[in-house]
């Protein structure tokens, strides 16, 4: 296929697909998995195994109309402190099953906007974590930040509490796009926030950008990428806007008639990629960019990159424990998710003293585990030696033959190269990594397409 013909490309590949931050994906979660499974899987984590922690804070000072996250506006400091108390209680319940002192190699606070928590309550939760786990000396401790609403004292507090990476939402710097999305954020606000964080000793900065928003143009997203690259963040995540109004009604508040079509989305993605590569960034997997010296860039080059519910990560832990409303945990045996809304989460936490607030999840079969590893390596490395993979797992010859046949169109179009048992995704095929992964997804045919966002 001629990639210069985006209309033909869209006609061929426009479909809704998972982002493959897990396998099976969250679309397979049901209430057949619950708190008893979570308890058993926590108890099965081997002593001494390093794990990841994720804490979710579902509150913001203002809501962005494009946002698909589980968050709401909550202005009461007392209510935010009460939520933090629930995080502390859930950590206690987790530790009761897991055992105290497990090493933690990666700790991330996400949301919402975690810095909406009062400073004192953040201190309490971090102290609970340090009392319950052993944070490794080289652990990445990260927090998501809204540059528009960062209290002046927060950067110094974050450094004091051990945070060493901050992730800032930017999305787009064009005022017309910002007005459509309900997120007014000047470039100067972003620069000031980065300077404050770096000045406080938090040197590692991530920035999120989005394409496919109302009123965005190829020129506009290129200008945004160029301006943000000039601020020298260590990593960037570049996401295609996921229009899922059946899940988040707030998205209908945008001028949805001005959303770019699939052709424009493809062109916008390419423009951002060109701008970031020109600025010296290394493309990582599907949608990340990294300085070459950043640990993520190093991991991408040496084949040790990983992928989980937070996206691409350098963390090799096989267990991720999610704490808070809607948080997802991942174990070798399967995955669990807590009650989604803050109210439902609080209700479950209050019902029984030791109950974990899990409401759904999925068990992994042996086939799921094999495919999860295969999909992760494809999403991270863009290639795999299936012969060696099959031999390492003791699978029968031809285990993936039917899946490989699904790649014939991608091969014809130059997006993958198949040589014997070796599968390589070309640079032109990077944008279609989700399509490649989908060929190995045995659950996808049973999914309803509206459960996922556009694959382009």
Whether 68 shows a pLDDT value over 90: the answer reads no
Give per-residue pLDDT as tens, 417-442. Answer: 999 999 999 999 999 999 999 999 99
Whether 112 shows a pLDDT value over 50: the answer reads yes
Q: What is the mean pLDDT of residues 351-374?
A: 96
Cβ atoms of 223 and 173 closer than 8 Å: yes
Task: Give 1-6+364-456's CATH code, choosing from 3.40.50.150, 1.10.10.920, 3.30.420.280, 1.10.645.10.
Answer: 1.10.10.920
Q: What is the mean pLDDT of residues 30-47?
A: 97
Q: What is the pLDDT of residue 12?
A: 84
Whether 176 shows a pLDDT value over 90: the answer reads yes
Give the confidence band of 2 by pLDDT, cuts at 50, 70, 90: very low
Burial annotation 115-126 (CB, 10 A radius, 16+ → b, else e): bbbeeebbebbb
Percent of the chain at pLDDT above 70?
97
Mean pLDDT estimate for the chain: 94
Q: What is the pLDDT of residue 15?
A: 80
- Outline where DSSP puts E strands in 101-224: 102-111, 133-145, 165-171, 204-211
Burial annotation 252-270 (CB, 10 A radius, 16+ → b, else e): eebeeeebbebbbbbbbbb
Closest residue by Cα to residue 207 from 265, 168, 253, 172: 168
Give per-residue pLDDT as tens, 235-255. Answer: 999 999 988 888 888 899 999
Cβ atoms of 119 and 86 closer than 8 Å: no
Sort residue 112 into left (φ over 0), alpha (ψ -120 to 50) or beta. Answer: left
Same fold, 1-6+364-456 and 25-323: no
Give per-residue pLDDT as tens, 279-305. Answer: 999 999 999 999 999 999 999 999 999
Give per-residue pLDDT as tens, 322-347. Answer: 999 999 999 999 999 999 999 999 99
Please, what sign has the CA dihedral across residues 207, 208, 211, 213?
Answer: negative
Q: Where are the domains of the chain?
A: 1-6+364-456, 25-323
Whether 371 shows a pLDDT value over 80: the answer reads yes
Whether 166 shows a pLDDT value over 80: the answer reads yes
Q: What is the mean pLDDT of residues 222-247?
A: 94
The highest-level CATH class for domain 25-323 is alpha beta
Q: What is the pLDDT of residue 450?
A: 53
Q: What is the pLDDT of residue 4?
A: 56
- 335 preceded by cis ω (within 30°)? no
Q: What is the pLDDT of residue 286?
A: 96
């Amino acid at each position: 296929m001629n990639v210069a013909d985006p209309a033909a490309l869209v006609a061929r590949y426009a479909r809704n697909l998972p982002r493959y931050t897990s396998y099976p994906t969250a679309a397979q979660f049901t209430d057949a998995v619950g708190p008893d499974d979570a308890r058993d899987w926590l108890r099965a984590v081997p002593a001494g195994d390093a794990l990841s922690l994720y804490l979710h804070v579902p509150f913001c000072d203002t809501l962005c109309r494009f946002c698909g996250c589980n968050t709401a506006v909550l202005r009461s400091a007392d209510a935010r402190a009460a939520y933090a108390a629930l995080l502390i209680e859930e950590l206690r319940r987790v530790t009761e099953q897991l055992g105290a002192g497990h090493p933690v190699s990666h700790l991330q606070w996400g949301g919402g906007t975690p810095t909406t928590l009062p400073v004192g309550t953040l201190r309490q939760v971090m102290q609970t974590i340090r009392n319950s786990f052993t944070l490794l000396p080289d652990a990445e401790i990260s927090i998501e930040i809204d540059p528009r609403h960062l209290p002046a004292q927060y950067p110094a507090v974050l450094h004091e509490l051990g945070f060493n990476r901050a992730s800032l939402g930017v999305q787009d710097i064009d005022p017309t796009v910002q007005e459509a999305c309900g997120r007014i954020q000047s470039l100067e606000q972003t620069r000031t926030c980065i300077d404050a964080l770096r000045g406080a000793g938090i040197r590692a900065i991530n920035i999120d950008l989005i394409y496919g928003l109302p009123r965005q143009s190829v020129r506009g997203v290129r200008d945004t990428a160029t301006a943000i690259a000039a601020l020298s963040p260590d990593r960037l995540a570049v996401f295609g806007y996921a229009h899922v109004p059946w899940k988040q009604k707030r998205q209908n508040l945008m001028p949805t008639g001005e959303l770019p079509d699939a052709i424009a989305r493809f062109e916008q993605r390419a423009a951002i990629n060109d701008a970031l590569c020109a600025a010296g960034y290394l493309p990582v997997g599907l949608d990340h960019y990294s300085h070459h010296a950043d640990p993520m860039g190093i991991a991408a080059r040496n084949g040790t990159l990983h992928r989980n519910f937070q996206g691409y990560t350098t963390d090799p832990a096989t267990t991720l424990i999610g704490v808070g409303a809607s948080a997802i945990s991942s174990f070798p045996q399967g995955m669990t998710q807590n009650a989604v809304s803050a109210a439902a989460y609080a209700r479950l936490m209050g019902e029984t003293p030791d109950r974990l607030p899990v409401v759904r999840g999925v068990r992994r079969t042996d086939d799921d585990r094999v495919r999860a590893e295969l999909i992760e390596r494809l999403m991270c490395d863009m290639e795999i030696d299936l012969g060696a993979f099959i031999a390492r797992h003791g699978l029968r010859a031809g285990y993936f033959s039917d899946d490989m046949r699904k790649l014939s169109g991608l091969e014809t179009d130059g997006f993958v190269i198949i040589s014997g048992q070796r599968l390589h995704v070309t640079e032109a095929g990077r944008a279609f990594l989700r399509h490649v992964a989908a060929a190995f997804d045995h659950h996808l045919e049973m999914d309803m397409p509206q459960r996922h966002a556009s694959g382009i």
